[in-house]
Amino acid sequence: MKLAVWDPDEPFRRWRDALAQHAGELRLAIEVIDAAEQPDEQADFALVWRPPGEWLAGQQQLRAVFNLGAGVDAVLPLMRAHAPQVPLIRLQDAGMGRQMADYVAEAVLHAHRRMLDYAALQAHATWEPLVLAPRTGFSVGFLGLGHMGLAAARRVQGLEFPVLACTRSGTPRAGTDFDGPIYGIDRLYEFLGHCRVLVVLLPLTADTHGLLDYGALSQLPRGAHVVNAGRGALLREQDLLDLLDEQHLASATLDVFETEPLPIDHPLWSHPRVRITPHVAAHTLVGPAAAQIMRKIAALERGDDPGGIVDARLGY
């Protein structure tokens, strides 16, 4: 079988070597091709990160497409337009969960220990110990509880902060050990009212685009913090800025934005209560991803469910 790789962010040889290593373990005979160098080669499976639509349209024998990022919002419209009958399969963690847990835990501790306030005091050479909120009342809410959200929630629970979550269904996923309150998305405002820190990890869909506007964000308690490591378009940036300027919100840690890279003249860059990272909360790790992809291909070869098949109606 032929496995095509389209990933402008990683050298092809890294994918080729990792896939070959794990294919040998599973006794799968494959040929890994660089789709950018051999765009006319027909493949049985494809590993993609933001592929061009014309290339996808030219692939006539694809049995499945694996998305190499956490979210599928960029590739799903291309699949609908050019390969609607081909299953789109997402990675399930592949090393990203631990990274996301690290990112979120740092943001929660940064907010709880009032590090932005200490930075402001330092700028004025002011020595002033600050009173911290009791940890037991510093609730951290997870908007989205997929693989990465669950990994981050477990880490925050381990730090002894109370956690709660809001998901589309409002019910825990089978096999998970999350034991905090879970709200359905129809109770979003009620959920937000309990969050001292809001961690946004929802997928971007037609239903979630712009979900966190002024009305929603203003439901957060006064002095709350926002952490967005999901998708930038989930959150209305100007509404966030307005609530920060009104001092309703205390801070925001943002890894994702409506436009990426964030334009150089965007007011988020210079806001004193905003921390910015360039979409680095969780990277796809080639080794673990290659191992997972080969296991999923082996499952498909056996006729089994590989897990992670995207529901095009839901958008994730």
The confidence score (pLDDT) of residue 175 equals 67
Q: How far apart are CA 259 and CA 267, in angstroms?
A: 13
Q: What is the mean pLDDT of residues 218-231?
A: 98
Q: How does the average pLDDT of the chain come out, rounded?
A: 95
Q: How far apart are CA 279 and CA 49, in angstroms?
A: 15
Catalytic residue numbers, as ranges? 231, 279
Is residue 184 classed exposed, middle or buried when 0-12, 13-18 and 19+ CB atoms within 10 A define those classes? middle
Residue 308 gets the label, from left (phi > 0), alpha (psi -120 to 50) or beta, of left
Instruction: Give the number of residues written for the chain.
Output: 316
The confidence score (pLDDT) of residue 96 equals 94
Q: How far apart are CA 121 and CA 128, in angstroms?
A: 7
The confidence score (pLDDT) of residue 110 equals 98
The confidence score (pLDDT) of residue 241 equals 98
Local structure of 198: helix, strand or coil: strand
| Predicted confidence (pLDDT) per residue in 4-37, tens digit | 999 999 999 999 999 999 998 888 889 999 999 9
Helix spans in 76-218 (H): 76-82, 96-112, 115-123, 147-158, 188-192, 214-217
Sign of the CA dihedral running 31, 33, 39, 45? positive
| Predicted confidence (pLDDT) per residue in 125-182, tens digit | 999 999 999 999 999 999 999 999 999 999 999 999 999 999 999 987 766 778 899 9
The confidence score (pLDDT) of residue 207 equals 95
On the question of pLDDT at 316 being above 80, the answer is yes
The confidence score (pLDDT) of residue 229 equals 98
